[in-house]
């Protein structure tokens, strides 16, 4: 995987030095404006950096002098520490990104894409709830608390990255597998964090702002903590520059030079995780700087490792500082807080989408061979197998309706039918809408995933992995915030528009390249990061509507009424009946455009129809069970494993698997922590994510 030739090397005619100069100029201008808003000139602001204002004789000062001292005090203890933290964090993340990309030979590697940041965040949430003593530190150094959470974050980041490597190691750390494993680990950790947040909203409310990446400071303690940790780490990275340059050679030549590649890789990756964990422990998750800074300087001409180690940290530091100044300038204009980390992710996602066409990626093997999911067998009696699957769905429906765990232990509702016939209220009145809604959402997601996988010839394609569910969720969240009391049709229309926008991006960015798996997955990474950023901004500002959005994002079926549930299930069945005649398209389109055209299929029209169907199906399902479930990925995969390979039987098998998975997820979510509940969407994502991680490791 490499960038384009030199003729396309400078799309903006920028060198790293010029770009950094422009960012530095922008930082000076924005900083001067910020100080001016505080009533300070640039020179007075610079004075406040070095000298803390003396208030010993404040009583004898006039009003203007007292206001000046107050402004200088704010600049000394808040504005300057915030700026220095931004510079240190941006530089460290840029350095960590270069180290990861060099060691893994993967320009897509970064603390966010490898799960390091999300793993560190989850570890700190767990420590806050279950082992607060770990967060209190050991008393070493000037600030024990900072030291304590720093090591908790480091352990979480190492564990997450270790999981990604365990999944991809047997495949030789293939860039496609690494990115895919990192994406799934991020989604899975996000689901775990959402479960913790649902049950501990008050205890973890402060972590929402921190987790979104707030750079606000009220002393120099954060700067000292970062400086004492990051400066030695970055100096060590410069010392490793010459050995790391050997990694540009093949392994045989590198070993001939006497370099221990295993030790070098472990040391470099450990250093990168340490730099990232230090930033996360103090400031929270700062999105995309670790990916954007190395990628941008590489596109601007910094090809050699030494150049990237010099320019990427500088570019990352200035980029984060400028972004933070822009965010701080909006503080008085917007009613709500915007965390800087979430804003960098929101800005970095479009930047990554812009970079995707400029990364020249090898075609490699097809998707199936990439992930070990191509199947050579076909079930001899597919109709009989479909009958067994239908019977399994019926059994799951009866289980979810009749069996429950309550105050009296496990009960079998044998008298529910009699109560229902007699017009009496029974537990069935509460369970039936949820079960029907879960089954309908499972059918919709499974059908959308099947259409995507066969349309792109990629068994890893799904609404969740490709970011379509995330795009739908972004549109729905913005609608809930901006439109007073939106109706179901308004939400559905917004969701369809969000899904169509994501699909259009995927097509535009990948059509000419033939839907190379790396590019398709990278689009999903970008859109998912944008969704995470929007979610973080909304949940961090304390808006009361954030609780409603959080409940919806978790995929709870608790609020679904019987009429809505019946409507969802009816629409799901109608969708299956409408898509079933398109089975011929789905059998032929994976053969390629030339073969499909020769067999009389209008390829463009077929793709537009199928993509439109995916958008509608995803929007409907996301309204019910939120953006995370993995059912759109898992159900078609299970149908293939069972030997249902032809389009018609594959579709029917997938929708039955999807209904089965969602019904079981809804039932398990109600039983495991009774009387508390894990929402169906989150439960499905935990089940599906666990299976997918195991499957990816097994196939490797």
For 278-329, the DSSP string reads HHHHHH----SHHHHHHHHHHHTT--SHHHHHHHHHHHHHHHHHHHHHHHHH
| pLDDT higher than 90, residue 698 | no
Residues 344, 399 share a domain: no
Of residues 362 and 518, more confidently modeled = 518
3-state secondary structure 361-399: CCCCCCHHHHHCCCCCCCCCCHHHHHHHHHHHHHHHHHH
Residues 195, 111 share a domain: yes
Domain-embedded: residue 368: no
Distance CA 286, CA 687 (A): 29
Query: Are 341 and 120 within 8 A, CB to CB?
Result: no
List all residues 6 or more positions away from 481 whose beta carbon is below 8 Å from its beta carbon: 538, 543, 545, 549
Which pLDDT score is estimated for 251?
A: 61
Which pLDDT score is estimated for 387?
A: 92
Q: Which of 360, 387, 419 is the last residue in one of the domains?
A: 360
Residues 467, 350 share a domain: no
Residues 547, 688 share a domain: yes
Of residues 172 and 588, more confidently modeled = 588
Which of 509, 178, 248, 529 is CA-nearest to residue 359?
Answer: 509
Residues 445, 325 share a domain: no
Residue in this structure with the two tokens 């765990």, named with its chain if needed: 405
Residues 649, 536 share a domain: yes
Pairing of strands 2-3, 359-360: antiparallel
Residues 312-322, mean pLDDT to the nearest whole number: 93
Distance CA 670, CA 406 (A): 10
**What is the extent of the structural domain holding 525?**
395-407+427-699
Under DSSP, the state recorded for 335 is S
Residues 312, 445 share a domain: no
Distance CA 108, CA 352 (A): 10
Stretch (H or E) spanning 411 = strand 409-412
Residues 561-575, mean pLDDT to the nearest whole number: 89
Residues 558, 633 share a domain: yes
Distance CA 669, CA 684 (A): 9
Domain-embedded: residue 34: yes
Which pLDDT score is estimated for 1?
A: 46
pLDDT tens digits along 628-676: 778 888 899 899 888 888 888 999 999 999 999 999 999 998 888 877 8
- Sorting pLDDT into bands at 50, 70 and 90, what band is 9? very low
Q: Indicate which CATH number applies to the domain containing 569.
A: 1.10.3470.10
Which pLDDT score is estimated for 204?
A: 78
Assigned token pair, 289: 């700087």
pLDDT tens digits along 577-604: 998 888 888 888 777 777 777 877 777 7
pLDDT tens digits along 415-429: 565 555 655 556 677
Q: At what angle do helices 631-641 and 427-456 cross, to 10 degrees?
A: 70
Which pLDDT score is estimated for 490?
A: 87
Which pLDDT score is estimated for 505?
A: 84
- Sorting pLDDT into bands at 50, 70 and 90, what band is 570? very high
Please state the φ and ψ torsions of residue 3, each to the nearest 5 degrees. Answer: -85, 175
Domain-embedded: residue 384: no
Residues 324-342, mean pLDDT to the nearest whole number: 74
Distance CA 363, CA 483 (A): 44
Residue in this structure with the two tokens 């400029």, named with its chain if needed: 358
Domain-embedded: residue 374: no
pLDDT averaged over every residue in the chain: 79
Which pLDDT score is estimated for 574?
A: 94
Which of 179, 177, 219, 257 is CA-nearest to residue 80?
Answer: 219
Instruction: Tell me the DSSP string of 572-609.
Output: HHHHHHHHGGGHHHHHHGGG-HHHHHHTT--HHHHHHH
Return the minimum-mean-pLDDT range out of 87-96, 337-346, 677-686.
Answer: 337-346
Of residues 565 and 413, more confidently modeled = 565
Which pLDDT score is estimated for 576?
A: 92
Question: Which spans in 105-140 are helix H?
Answer: 116-130, 132-135
Distance CA 537, CA 345 (A): 11
Q: What's the pTM value of the predicted model, to 2 decimals? A: 0.78
Residues 446, 341 share a domain: no
Return the minimum-mean-pLDDT range out of 118-132, 245-259, 280-294, 383-397.
Answer: 245-259
Of residues 500 and 8, more confidently modeled = 500
Task: Give the range with max mean pLDDT: 86-95, 490-499, 500-509.
Answer: 86-95
Assigned token pair, 410: 């496990």
Which of 390, 447, 469 is CA-nearest to residue 583?
Answer: 447
Domain-embedded: residue 690: yes
Residues 471, 336 share a domain: no
Residues 462, 315 share a domain: no
Which of 569, 555, 568, 607 is CA-nearest to residue 585?
Answer: 607
Domains held by the chain: number: 2
Which pLDDT score is estimated for 420?
A: 57
Q: Is the peptide bond before 675 cis (omega within 30 degrees of 0)?
A: yes
Distance CA 591, CA 454 (A): 10
Query: Are 671 and 405 within 8 A, CB to CB?
Result: yes
Return the minimum-mean-pLDDT range out of 8-22, 131-145, 191-205.
Answer: 131-145
Distance CA 660, CA 666 (A): 10
Say what the alpha-carbon torsion angle 83, 89, 92, 97 is, to the nearest 10 degrees: -120
List all residues 6 or more positions away from 648 whose beta carbon is below 8 Å from its beta carbon: 580, 583
Which pLDDT score is estimated for 171?
A: 67
List all residues 6 or more positions away from 132 whose beta carbon is below 8 Å from its beta carbon: none
Domain-embedded: residue 379: no
Distance CA 393, CA 383 (A): 15
Long-range contacts of 146-152 (CB under 8 A, 24+ apart): 146/221, 146/222, 146/225, 146/281, 146/282, 147/225, 149/124, 149/281, 150/225, 150/229, 150/277, 150/278, 150/281, 150/282, 152/120, 152/123, 152/124, 152/127, 152/281
| pLDDT higher than 70, residue 7 | no
Stretch (H or E) spanning 3 = strand 2-3
Domain-embedded: residue 378: no
Which pLDDT score is estimated for 5?
A: 43
Determine the Cα angle at 375 with ends 516 and 697, to 5°: 70
Residues 381-389, mean pLDDT to the nearest whole number: 89
What distances in angstroms separate CA 677 from CA 57, 98, 108, 190, 450, one per listed residue?
A: 60, 43, 37, 18, 30
Residues 308, 255 share a domain: yes
Domain-embedded: residue 382: no
Of residues 647 and 171, more confidently modeled = 647
pLDDT tens digits along 334-368: 556 677 887 887 777 787 777 777 665 544 444 34
Chain-centroid distance of CA 522 in Å reads: 11
List all residues 6 or more positions away from 441 whose beta carbon is below 8 Å from its beta carbon: 568, 572, 620, 621, 624, 625, 629, 631, 662, 680
């Amino acid at each position: 995987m490499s960038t384009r030739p030199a003729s396309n090397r400078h799309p903006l005619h920028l060198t790293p030095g010029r770009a950094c100069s422009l960012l530095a100029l922008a930082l000076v201008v924005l900083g001067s404006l910020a100080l001016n808003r505080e009533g300070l000139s640039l020179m007075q602001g610079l004075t406040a950096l070095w000298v803390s204002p003396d208030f010993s004789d404040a009583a004898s000062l006039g009003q203007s002098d007292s206001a000046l001292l107050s402004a200088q005090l704010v600049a000394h203890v808040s504005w300057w520490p915030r700026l220095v933290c931004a510079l240190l964090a941006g530089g460290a993340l840029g350095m960590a990104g270069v180290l990861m990309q060099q060691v893994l030979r993967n320009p897509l590697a970064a603390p966010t894409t490898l799960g390091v940041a999300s793993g560190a965040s989850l570890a700190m949430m767990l420590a806050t709830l279950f082992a607060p003593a770990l967060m209190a530190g050991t008393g070493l150094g000037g600030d024990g608390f900072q030291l304590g959470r720093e090591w908790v974050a480091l352990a979480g980041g190492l564990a997450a990255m270790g999981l990604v490597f365990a999944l991809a190691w047997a495949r030789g750390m293939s860039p496609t597998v690494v990115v895919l494993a990192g994406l799934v680990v991020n989604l899975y950790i996000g689901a775990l964090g959402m479960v913790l947040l649902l049950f501990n909203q008050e205890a973890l409310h402060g972590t929402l702002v921190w987790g979104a990446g707030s750079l606000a400071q009220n002393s120099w303690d954060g700067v000292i903590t970062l400086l004492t940790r990051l400066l030695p780490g970055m100096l060590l990275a410069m010392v490793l520059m010459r050995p790391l340059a050997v990694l540009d050679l093949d392994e045989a030549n590198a070993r001939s030079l006497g370099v221990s590649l295993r030790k070098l890789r472990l040391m470099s990756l450990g250093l990168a995780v340490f730099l990232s964990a230090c930033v996360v422990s103090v400031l929270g998750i700062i999105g995309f700087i670790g990916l954007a800074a190395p990628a941008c300087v590489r596109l601007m001409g910094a090809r050699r490792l030494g150049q990237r180690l010099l320019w990427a940290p500088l570019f990352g530091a200035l980029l984060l500082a400028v972004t933070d100044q822009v965010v701080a300038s909006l503080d008085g204009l917007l009613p709500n807080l915007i965390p800087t980390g979430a804003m960098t992710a929101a800005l970095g996602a479009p930047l990554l989408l812009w970079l995707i066409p400029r990364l020249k990626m090898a075609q490699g093997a097809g998707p199936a061979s990439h992930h070990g999911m191509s199947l050579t067998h076909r079930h001899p009696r597919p109709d009989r197998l479909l009958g067994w699957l239908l019977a399994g769905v019926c059994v799951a429906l009866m289980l979810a309706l009749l069996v429950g765990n309550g105050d009296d232990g496990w009960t079998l509702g044998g008298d529910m039918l009699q109560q229902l016939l007699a017009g009496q209220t029974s537990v069935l009145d509460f369970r039936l809408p949820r079960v029907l809604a879960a089954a309908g959402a499972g059918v919709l997601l499974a059908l959308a995933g099947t259409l995507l996988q066969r349309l792109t010839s990629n068994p890893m394609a799904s609404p969740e992995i490709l970011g379509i569910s995330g795009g739908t969720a972004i549109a729905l969240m913005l609608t809930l915030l901006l439109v007073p009391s939106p109706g179901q049709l308004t939400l559905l229309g917004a969701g369809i528009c969000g899904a169509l926008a994501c699909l259009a991006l995927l097509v535009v960015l990948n059509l000419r390249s033939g839907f190379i798996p790396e590019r398709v997955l990278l689009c999903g990474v970008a859109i998912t990061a944008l969704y995470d950023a929007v979610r973080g901004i909304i949940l961090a500002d304390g808006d009361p509507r954030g609780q409603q959005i959080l409940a919806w994002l978790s995929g709870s079926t608790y609020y679904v009424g019987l009429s809505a549930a019946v409507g969802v299930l009816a629409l799901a069945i109608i969708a299956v009946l409408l898509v079933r005649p398109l089975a011929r398209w789905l059998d032929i389109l994976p053969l390629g455009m030339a073969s499909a055209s020769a067999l009389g299929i209008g390829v463009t029209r077929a793709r537009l129809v199928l993509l439109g169907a995916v958008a509608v199906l995803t929007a409907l399902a996301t309204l019910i069970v939120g953006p995370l479930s993995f059912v759109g990925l898992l159900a078609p995969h299970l149908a293939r494993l069972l030997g249902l390979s032809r389009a018609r039987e594959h579709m029917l098998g997938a929708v039955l698997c999807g209904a089965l998975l969602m019904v079981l997820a809804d039932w398990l979510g109600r039983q495991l922590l009774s009387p508390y509940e894990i929402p169906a969407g989150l439960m499905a994502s935990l089940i599906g994510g666990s299976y997918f991680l195991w499957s990816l490791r097994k196939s490797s």
